[in-house]
Structure 1
């Protein structure tokens, strides 16, 4: 492959930030080592030319008084990564929601001062999904900037099912919930300049879209066909999703140009060879494979294309 992949689902864990999360009791998962040098080595091994990085999703459940300064800390760190290696990195700016005013300021700073490539927004903010009316000004400003939004699940809230970690099942449901909420509240129509990426292949959106669309009480005046078409308008990354059963569903469902490579590094370190290997060998044209690996992302990120 002459052109390396563009990875749109690639996390960073800056050491100072990671230690702060541990001290606050916000990071209880298995220890994940992370460094810029280790990331570049992984990218070289996986034929990734550029990673559009974002913070670990656990960092989006910060104490209210710490959200804005910690978002700024991570954004400045990732902006420096891009400044040092513009050929290898881009970044999604973290927004300190639910504080709308702080989020608007961070959008301004991240785009105008740090040259962000897009923004990271959790699928829900303390149980409030992305169609929440209070978040309208954030979507208005992002729409004005023709932004790319990377959504990442944080869990559906409540007590996890016994023996089933949230990232195994609840994360998928959380992505589906926010996709439904964005469509039913009209955000996907009113803010048509936005390009919204759903993590992990959109959860089970591609598999269940037609079933979900046949619930008139959810969709108001939208027809089943209109709901399905709007669900197809999202972008879908293939992090932990390019499997023998899920990839064919995504290829059948997503609009042309709407599938993106994603590794979920470093949280999916052991799984990356399996999913990448299946993507490399799945029967499709070389044009389709190149589009998923890098072409579709190049169309989304003008700076990376340059």
Structure 2
């Protein structure tokens, strides 16, 4: 097996397999398309901020990230071995297909799904793949998702948040969500940069990316899915979200309180009665991963809010690749059987890993 680096000190084998559940990848063709968009001078300001940094900066940090993103071979496996990661759940990096024109997005998703599925076949004990689709054409998206899951063996759908400023609670995306539910696989809702019309104040303060803007944007997206009643209309939909829920667990009580007031007052047409309180959907339809959020106290808090069976490990490779963060989560003060579920069992159940 390729990738034989010894794990760092303190990351020796445990009585569980560490499954990292939000690990990024991109085919080189996707970056070539991103560069074409950047060179056109017509790129959305948020996209230009995000991918302009990673694809044009001479700093070694973004250059290393881009190099690691395109590898599905020995380099990735060696990085996993060095941090004690037994398996990665791999999906297309943000912003994925969602900045491409519909035809290009569909073609890119098909190429990416084929290539990722090939890597999974080559390393079935190390990789699990999530599908990509071109989201603007729901019919084509449904067809490609069916192919990716039923023919290629991919185990979920990655959506890199908004689709050119539109969110998954919009009725145009419902056939895709219904297909995800029908297939019995999860939707992974992952951040990307805020839409161009609203990114300005974040960007001028240097807060538009992972430092805070990603969480604010994706937390909004998940909350829209909840408060719009989408999970009542598609009750079989299972949603995975990283970064410990993008801040929503911390605000759960306030969201419930204010939602009830808005329903009672009829202030907003968009806010209608739901079958549950908003926070309860975090315990019935949503799973959280710890990607980029390795600190002990926030993890323990999130587990109490959403349920100990709904928080699982992730690294956020290659954006946040730190051996010390794996060790900190190995040391979580929770019972051994819960730690085994946190690192392995929950991911196996949610992503159908046999």
TM-score by length of 1: 0.92
Alignment partner, residue 241 of structure 2: 198
CA distance, structure 1, for counterparts of residue 240 and residue 334 of structure 2: 23
Shift of 1:219: 4.3
Contact kept? 1:209, 1:231, Cα under 8 Å: no
CA distance, structure 2, for counterparts of residue 174 and residue 165 of structure 1: 9
Structure number with bigger Rg: 2
Alignment partner, residue 110 of structure 2: 72
Alignment partner, residue 287 of structure 1: 337
Q: 1:242 aligns with which of 284, 294, 298?
A: 294
Q: 1:124 aligns with which of 159, 162, 170?
A: 162
Alignment partner, residue 76 of structure 2: 39
Shift of 1:199: 1.6
Q: State whether structure 2 residue 232 is matched by structure 1 residue 189.
A: yes
Contact kept? 2:185, 2:350, Cα under 8 Å: no
Shift of 1:243: 0.8
Shift of 1:94: 0.6
Alignment partner, residue 58 of structure 1: 95
Contact kept? 1:5, 1:48, Cα under 8 Å: yes
RMSD (CA atoms):
1.9
Runs of 4 or more, structure 1, over 6 Å off, are: none
* Number of residue pairs aligned between Structure 1 and Structure 2: 301
Alignment partner, residue 223 of structure 2: 180
Mark the CA change 1:289 to 1:114 in structure 2 (over 3 Å): closer, same or farther. Answer: same
Contact kept? 1:3, 1:49, Cα under 8 Å: no
CA distance, structure 1, for counterparts of residue 157 and residue 24 of structure 2: 13
CA distance, structure 2, for counterparts of residue 205 and residue 228 of structure 1: 8
CA distance, structure 1, for counterparts of residue 16 and residue 323 of structure 2: 19
Contact kept? 1:175, 1:199, Cα under 8 Å: no
CA distance, structure 2, for counterparts of residue 258 and residue 219 of structure 1: 26
Q: After alignment, is 214-223 or 159-168 more displaced?
A: 214-223
Alignment partner, residue 256 of structure 1: 308
Contact kept? 1:21, 1:59, Cα under 8 Å: no
Deviation track 1:242-298 (CA, whole Å, cap 9, x = no partner) reads 2134212212112232111111111112xx323322211221111111111001011
Deviation track 1:187-210 (CA, whole Å, cap 9, x = no partner) reads 223323222101211110111111
Contact kept? 2:98, 2:135, Cα under 8 Å: no
Contact kept? 2:89, 2:128, Cα under 8 Å: yes
Deviation track 1:200-257 (CA, whole Å, cap 9, x = no partner) reads 111101111111122232642248x722211333100100112134212212112232
Gap regions ≥5 residues in structure 1: none
CA distance, structure 2, for counterparts of residue 156 and residue 215 of structure 1: 24
CA distance, structure 1, for counterparts of residue 300 and residue 319 of structure 2: 24
Secondary structure of 1:111's counterpart equals helix
Mark the CA change 1:128 to 1:256 in structure 2 (over 3 Å): closer, same or farther. Answer: same
Alignment partner, residue 126 of structure 2: 88
Gap regions ≥5 residues in structure 2: 1-13, 39-46, 55-61, 263-269
Mark the CA change 1:206 to 1:274 in structure 2 (over 3 Å): closer, same or farther. Answer: farther
Alignment partner, residue 299 of structure 1: 349
Deviation track 1:60-87 (CA, whole Å, cap 9, x = no partner) reads 3332131111111111110000111111
More strand as a share of residues: 1
CA distance, structure 2, for counterparts of residue 153 and residue 236 of structure 1: 13
Secondary structure of 1:289's counterpart equals helix
